[in-house]
Amino acid sequence: MINASVVCSLLTEKFSQSTGSRKISLQSPSAREEEVTNHLAELLNTIINCHEFTVESEISLDYISDDLTEDEIDQYAVSEDSELDPDFNDTDNDDSDDLLQKFSLDYMKKVIEYYDERNPLTGKRRRSWKGVKRRFKRITHSSHISRFRAYIEKGGTRTQKWENINNYVYHKFEQARESNLPVHDLDLRRWGLEKAKQELFHEFTASEKWLFNFKIEHNICSRKVTK
């Protein structure tokens, strides 16, 4: 027969020997301390009176940190992606015109809006190409106008869309961890596809390679949580 008082004494001794422990006064426990004590007492009684236990393990994503042990990190989940190329970059086949990567989508929109502005009386453009060039000195050739227009219609360059997707997914991951919610690979993929739909980036598939590189870039690992 398990003696609850013996278990409590052992727990007290265990925590008193833990690093950074300090003497605790029992004269005036807080309401929260009493609440935790009642929960632990209820849990301890349940364990003492039961005849079998069920241990559940769940794989959740978390930041890689020094305090995680090898047992807490799911080795299968890590090795499962080990065959993927860590140097893989989904943007390697990005737009061939590297010149356009120097301009943000907002900058392109400002150029086009400035160029397309019309005189309300005549209906003609207010400015010529030379006027645009004087206003936006980074624009060196008139062909940029048509290229900017094409990229605006597509919602930006592939690189910009990748960045928007990654930033969105990481923001959602941070929100979930701050709320102590479990996060799985499926969640990262779902958020990525959700943002890709908003970006009209239909080529994005939230592939294994994207997932692998996303986790590497943001120092995220698969962590085994045992209940």
The residue-averaged pLDDT of 78-87 equals: 42
> At which residue do the structure tokens 């990262």 appear?
188
Higher-pLDDT residue of 217 and 67 is 217
Summarize pLDDT for 156-167 with one digit per residue, the tens: 678 778 889 999
Q: Are 213 and 165 in contact (CB under 8 A)?
A: no
The helix (H) or strand (E) run that includes residue 223 is: strand 220-226
> Domains in the chain, please, with CATH?
59-75+157-224 (1.10.10.60), 95-154 (no CATH)
CA distance 58 to 74: 10
Burial class (CB in 10 A: 0-12, 13-18, 19+), 84: middle
pLDDT for residue 83 is more than 60:
no
The two structure tokens encoding residue 179: 């709320």
Summarize pLDDT for 140-151 with one digit per residue, the tens: 888 888 888 887
What pTM was computed for the model?
A: 0.49
Helices (H), the chain: 4-16, 31-49, 75-80, 105-116, 129-135, 143-153, 158-178, 185-198, 208-217
Amino acid at 188: L
pLDDT for residue 155 is more than 80:
no
Higher-pLDDT residue of 186 and 41 is 186
Q: Are 57 and 225 in contact (CB under 8 A)?
A: yes
Angle, CA 222 vertex, CA 224 and CA 163 arms, to 5°: 155
Helix, coil or strand: residue 15: helix
State the chain's mean pLDDT as an integer: 77
CA distance 216 to 188: 13
